[in-house]
Chains A and B, each alone.
Chain A
């Protein structure tokens, strides 16, 4: 038997809570939330450990190495908190379970392959756009940045444009 799960919050309640977290971040940290920036810093740390010269010679990586350890950044701490918060949320709602999220008729291997491909696309895109859905869309959007709104509308356009092609993995 599957353990019963706590229901998801009403989307508007969740949205207000999320907005208040973001507002607190603006007020306390002088900046918004983020996610993909920490992913990049983790990647740079790995590359720097393996091939320090190469990392220092690559302009995009060098800029995060200037201040020393690329992991010594508030965003990395925030994302570690994000992981802990996600874990607590799942553990206290009966949703902590090792599984592959997919439709019942789609193979796990193919699903994981698509997850990787999608992740690579997003990592690249987040760097190009100077932020992902959290750091650019949400945080820039609430500040009414023109670029953030253009980004967000493009995210939806991109999602709707490709949705039909990958529908099978959710069936």
Chain B
């Protein structure tokens, strides 16, 4: 203790005032930068969707606690002298805590943070500051009427390590470990509530902020993973906008979803290979007042064959659908989501995106684009409250795989194909848990991870092998 303020006089006192001011400025600056000057951020911990304040508060306690143990151990700090200022009066502290907690959520601040809020121009912060002053005076006036309650539960200087009968450093470490467990739990809670806020109708809807029941737009919904994604959202009571080229198959799926899940379904026939399709789709939905709150980009197709031999126009269409349309869809709908302050985007890439694919060069490259683009988007839009996930399935038993001639590949034999329904569920789980990249199936995860360990050249050679059909199958393909 270098500046025990009260006993100081003259020059040392002036120094003490200087230290108090510097400490105060640091205290205020750190609080502002951590978000303590913003009521929405402070109260968010009580609604579960942003535990920043909880994490920062307990990190601060653990840091200072370990620091005191360390400094005391080095003989740089007289802890007993500091502890004297913190006697325990159990009952008024418990009741005071309950009332302060209630005041915290009502005002949006605690007494210290209300100063920071007022200093950054928040009128409600300033009013809270005045309220606190008033409240302390109310206490002073009514204290005699409390009948000594304020001094009840008097335990004097009583500390956790004394209560537990353990050495102080050990208790400090135990509390630090508990805090880390608390942080892990807090992060889980955040993910859960953020998702529920983004996916309307979740259990957290009541506490999660403004709720609209916006629709889920699924492209490529006519079959395969897209159709099963639509089914999975319908199972959760979500209204749907189904987009694909085939009206017949869309109508069929729409009838099924309406009958089984009693959700609202809208069918939009659109060929995303034509450049104006996305703008037309967005305009049509806006004109009818359809609010898309979750965008699912599943539309896409693959072509197999030598790069120079495949039809150049079809290759161009593939880039248009897999890359350009997906980007444009994300753009127009993300703008709406940002404006409304929440929502979700799920892009379907594929294991093909993790490696260069000889024989499917353009297709693999389009999927690499989706992987990279989506990961960046997830990072960018997180602060806007928009969840973005990439679903990157491996071999899946779909019409898509058959159409592209994938089913015959070696890849489909070493890596047991998954059902589209299982892949779709994995995609929704990724959104619900806030995972930015979901590779369903352990074989696929292993493959994706191992590709990352080898040079791109080797990966391309590996891919070439996996993307070849064994000779007998190749014959079948050519005759089919």
Interface residues of A (CB under 8 A from B): 6-9, 11-12, 14-36, 39-40, 42-44, 46-47, 58-61, 67, 73-75, 77-90, 93, 95-105, 108, 111-112, 114-130, 132-134, 136-164, 166-167, 169-171
Contact = CB atoms under 8 A, between A and B. Distances in A.
B60 A119 contact: no
A13 B214 CA distance: 37
A95 B20 contact: no
Given A23-B67, A142-B65, A143-B82, A78 B93 contact: no
B95 interface: yes
Nearest to B137: A43
A20 to B, nearest CB: 6
Nearest to B71: A27
Chain A interface, DSSP helix/strand/loop, else mixed: helix
B163 interface: yes
- Counting chain A CB atoms within 10 Å of each CB, the highest count among B77, B92, B132, B138 belongs to B132
B92 A98 contact: no
B143 interface: yes
A98 B140 CA distance: 32
Nearest to B43: A170
B37 interface: yes
Contacts of B133: 39-40, 42-43, 46, 119, 123
A129 B207 contact: no
B108 A103 contact: no
A119 B120 contact: no
Contact of A124 (B27, B94, B138): B138
Interface of B: 1-6, 16-17, 19-35, 37-41, 43, 45-47, 51-53, 55-65, 67-68, 71, 76-79, 81-83, 85-90, 92-125, 127-141, 143-144, 146, 150, 155, 157-161, 163, 168, 171-172, 175, 183, 206-207, 209-210, 383
Given A97-B121, A144-B171, A158-B104, A89 B140 contact: no
Contact of B107 (A105, A118, A150, A158): A118
A164 to B, nearest CB: 7
A25 B108 contact: no
Given A102-B124, A167-B207, A138 B60 contact: yes
Contacts of B110: 35, 122, 132-134
6 contacts: A23-B71, A36-B132, A40-B137, A44-B137, A58-B141, A82-B31
Contact of A35 (B62, B111, B175): B111
Rank and list the top 10 A-B pairs by shortest CB-CB distance, nearest first.
Answer: A119-B131, A123-B135, A81-B24, A158-B101, A118-B107, A15-B59, A85-B28, A19-B63, A154-B97, A129-B96
A31 to B, nearest CB: 5
A157 B93 CA distance: 13
A164 B206 CA distance: 9
Given A80-B21, A83-B119, A90-B119, A47 B137 contact: yes
Nearest to A154: B97
Contact of A134 (B106, B111, B121, B175): B111
Given A30-B82, A90-B32, A121 B25 contact: no
A59 B94 CA distance: 23
A81 B20 contact: yes
A79 B120 contact: no
Contacts of A132: 100, 110-112
- Counting chain B CB atoms within 10 Å of each CB, the highest count among A9, A19, A137 belongs to A19
Nearest to B55: A11
Contact of B99 (A20, A146, A158, A170): A158
B111 A163 contact: no
A127 B158 CA distance: 20
A129 B94 CA distance: 8
Given A85-B24, A89-B33, A123-B111, A11 B56 contact: yes
B21 A58 contact: no
B30 A21 contact: yes
Contacts of B81: 30
A16 B23 contact: no
